[in-house]
Structure 1
Amino acid sequence: MKRSWGLQSSLPDDIALKIASLLPVQFPTPVPDVCALGSCSRFWRELCGSNCIWQSLAKERWPYLAQFEESSSSSTATNPPISKGWRGFYIKRHREMEGRAAAVTEFLERCSLTASLDVGDYLKAIEDLHTMQLGFKDVQMFLFNPKRNVLLNLVGLAYCIYWLGVPGEYVVEELENCKISARRVCVKWWKLGRWFHGFRMRDESHSRWVSLADLAKAKEQEVLIVLQRGAIHEVLCVQISAADPTCTPWSC
């Protein structure tokens, strides 16, 4: 052990940091690998706890932090720069994002006790994620979990594509990594009956089963339009249901 410690401590800092930075990226972040390496010895614990490592991890997970750091560096003493403690910042930020995701989960749970969700609540949940500033990796970690209800998976998918602007192929790749790409939802909507020779015909009912992967690939354009627009104009009502009635809703 003493010899091993001597070999490690003799490594130049830049080489050791390069080794740590080349850790394989595990889904959804390489943080578990960094922590595992840090538990190997005192040398690696000190290295893996360094600011530069956690600064890189934080900016990879929350890309907008670069702008925040610039603004905070020119602020007053009441707002110290993040760089004084990136590891602590990362842990604190992770817990904040976890709490925000839990709040959205609880909201959807209240709105769909029967595993069916009104489109208005669906759109509100997506907007809440935007207000809470969740990033793509936050969605991967907290909303794409296969133990979550498919309705929550769907909300995360829509948020990534329409608010974060994540390309559909990237979203599909993560859905496949999480083994939820084949999960399906049933989208039902009712359209106002058309007028014919002075008489209004009966309202039209539509129903479509779609997979998360097909929605991410934009294969179901009619369903996507209905979900994006909600219950407006000619569409009277839109309802989204979980495809598998045997699953336990909102299990974590």
Structure 2
Amino acid sequence: MKQSECIQNSIPHDIALKIASSLQASDLCALGSCSRFWRELCGSDFLWVSLFRDRWPFLDGFQESSSSDTNKGWRGFYIIQHHKMVGRATGVIKFVEECSSSESLEVGDYLKAIKDMCLMQLGFKDVQMFLFKPDLNVLLNLVGLHYCINWLGVPAEYVMEALQSCKISERQVCVKWWKLGRWFYGFRLRDESHSRWVCLGDLAIKEKEVLGVLHRGAVHEVIRVQISVSNPTSTPWSCQSTQARV
């Protein structure tokens, strides 16, 4: 207690607030458990409104929370919203896992998961926290990557940095798509098959064609799209074992 009182007396309030404002939510909570001084300072609305708007820039805490919770301040709004996002992300994870029990995912289910995330209004940090995990199926990592780039509009270099930070940038998927055969002198040629093994890092930075195929799905000339989990011990043609139709 004497030590905490000494710290309180030696650090000006504005400097202490500056230190606290540089922390993320988990670190701010940890600091707030050190003493009464830090608990009161780390519960400041000034800190939590910044964290809330940084994580969910398109949300309003007062609109998202019920009237009975308005006395909890921005820290309370942040915690409430965090728990909501945990439930929403869990729903997406469960859906993708159920649809990919054979280690491959139909593009229709893939795009539905992304659309659901859009409706749920998951933010970039939510994706990093809940979907960019190395212990999750790589198909879930891919869903999160696609959502961030094509729906949230996060710059590719930021997504790449997040992938590397979460140690999933080298994880691979196999994307295979079938195109309708071209017409040649009144005859339609055989359907064209394209297969590509790609790592998540390349998808974020340079594999625009593959990401474009995933984003469009089975439309126009593309009649089927399949996404499979990479298996380093198998050849690329092993992707043909399970074909996903849309």
Q: TM-score, normalised by structure 1?
A: 0.84
Structure 1: tracts of 5 or more residues without a match: 24-29, 73-77, 247-252
Aligned partner letter, 2:30 = A
Give the structure 1 partner of residue 241 of structure 2. Answer: none
Give the structure 2 partner of residue 42 of structure 1. Answer: 36
Aligned partner letter, 1:33 = D
Structure 2: tracts of 5 or more residues without a match: 234-246
Matches within 5 A, 1:1-252: 1-9=1-9, 11-23=11-23, 30-65=24-59, 68=60, 79=67, 85-217=73-205, 219-244=206-231
- How far 1:244 moved relative to its partner? 3.3
- How far 1:84 moved relative to its partner? 5.0
Aligned partner letter, 1:34 = L
Change in 2 beyond 3 A, CA 1:90/1:245: farther
Give the structure 1 partner of residue 240 of structure 2. Answer: none
- How far 1:11 moved relative to its partner? 4.0
Give the structure 2 partner of residue 250 of structure 1. Answer: none
Change in 2 beyond 3 A, CA 1:8/1:19: same
User: 3-state DSSP class of the match of 1:85?
Assistant: helix
- How far 1:83 moved relative to its partner? 7.8
User: 3-state DSSP class of the match of 2:215?
Assistant: helix
Identity %: 68
* Deviations 1:223-252 (CA, angstroms, capped at 9, x unpaired): 122111111111110000011389xxxxxx
- How many corresponding residue pairs? 231
Q: Distance in 1 between matches of 2:156 and 2:69?
A: 35
Change in 2 beyond 3 A, CA 1:244/1:92: farther
- How far 1:179 moved relative to its partner? 0.6
Whether contact under 8 Å (2:175, 2:196) holds in the other structure is yes
Q: TM-score, normalised by structure 2?
A: 0.86
- How far 1:142 moved relative to its partner? 0.4
- Whichever structure has more helix as a proportion of its residues is 2
Change in 2 beyond 3 A, CA 1:245/1:88: farther
- How far 1:81 moved relative to its partner? 9.1
User: 3-state DSSP class of the match of 1:86?
Assistant: helix
- How far 1:6 moved relative to its partner? 4.0
Change in 2 beyond 3 A, CA 1:64/1:212: same
Q: Distance in 2 between matches of 1:134 and 1:50?
A: 25
User: 3-state DSSP class of the match of 2:108?
Assistant: helix
Aligned partner letter, 1:229 = R
Whether contact under 8 Å (2:127, 2:144) holds in the other structure is yes
- How far 1:197 moved relative to its partner? 2.3
Whether contact under 8 Å (2:4, 2:35) holds in the other structure is no
Q: Distance in 1 between matches of 2:157 and 2:163?
A: 10
